[in-house]
Amino acid sequence: MTIETSKNIEKIRRGFNMGSRIGVTQLGRSTKWRQDLENHAVLEILDRNQTAGILNLY
C-alpha cells in the first residue's frame, strides 16, 4: 500500500467525526459543505435525521 493510499484511507476513517454530517437543505443553501468535504473526505447526507446518502471526495 502506498503512503498516499494510506493517507486517503485515514482521511476517510476520520471523515465520520463531528462536523461530517450535513442536511439535504444545506446542500442547496450554502457552499460551506464543499470545504467540509475536502477536510473530511466523506460527508453523511441527512434527511430528517436519517442517512440519505454518503458523499465521498474520491
* pLDDT 10s digits, 39-53: 888 888 999 989 898
- For the purposes of burial, counting CB atoms within 10 Å of the CB of 12, is it exposed (0-12), middle (13-18) or buried (19 or more)? middle
pLDDT at 54 over 80: yes
Confidence of residue 16 (pLDDT cuts 50, 70, 90): low
Domains in the chain: how many in total? 1
Which strands, in side-by-side order, build the sheet including 50-56? 21-23, 42-47, 50-56
Average pLDDT of span 10-39: 82
Residue ranges making up the domain that contains 34: 3-56
pLDDT for the residue numbered 37: 87
